[in-house]
């Protein structure tokens, strides 16, 4: 249980850092219009819901025991591989949007530890920046 608390505190520290520390935080918080703004609210809601559910799951059972059990199944390994390939692709997107390998690497480690909580947070807080990078 102590490890869970420590891991959640590390995640909170990371999220606060990439929100407020110059160089890691968005250069300027753009206010999106139209569909980008609506989608940003939706992604933010999804992130918050997923965070709450993840906290509940970490209270109910051990992640390490679950991963050990799942990794003994072929489909469990395939699902894990699929997850991490998607997470790596998202970090590639971060590199394209930010234009910095260092910033992409800063996001990579927490992404590999916390899974989709980190990319969802990135998208929720930087969707106008992502849309702008692709002229959307």
Q: Give the model's pLDDT for residue 65.
A: 86
CA 64 vs CA 58, 67, 68, 75, 114: distances in Å: 10, 5, 6, 17, 13
CA dihedral 14, 16, 19, 23 (to 10 degrees): -60
pTM (global) more than 0.75: yes
Q: How confident is the model at residue 28 (pLDDT cuts 50, 70, 90)?
A: low
Per-residue pLDDT reduced to its tens digit, 69-127: 999 999 999 999 999 999 999 999 999 999 999 999 999 999 999 999 999 999 999 99
Least confident of 46-50, 61-65, 97-101: 61-65
Q: Where are the domains of the chain?
A: 2-133
Query: What mean pLDDT, rounded, does the chain reach?
Result: 90
Helix (H/G/I), strand (E/B), else coil: 33: coil
């Amino acid at each position: 249980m102590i490890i869970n608390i420590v891991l959640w505190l590390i995640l909170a520290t990371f999220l606060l850092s990439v929100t407020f520390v110059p160089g890691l935080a968005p250069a300027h918080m753009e206010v999106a219009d139209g569909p980008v703004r609506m989608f940003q609210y939706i992604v933010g809601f999804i992130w918050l819901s997923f965070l709450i559910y993840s906290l509940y799951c970490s209270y109910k059972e051990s992640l390490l025991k679950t991963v050990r059990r799942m990794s003994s199944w072929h489909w469990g390994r395939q699902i894990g591989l699929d997850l991490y390939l998607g997470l790596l692709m998202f970090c590639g997107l971060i590199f394209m949007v930010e234009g910095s390998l260092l910033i992409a690497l800063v996001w990579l480690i927490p992404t590999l530890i916390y899974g989709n909580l980190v990319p969802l947070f990135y998208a929720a807080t930087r969707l106008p920046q992502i849309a702008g990078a692709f002229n959307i």
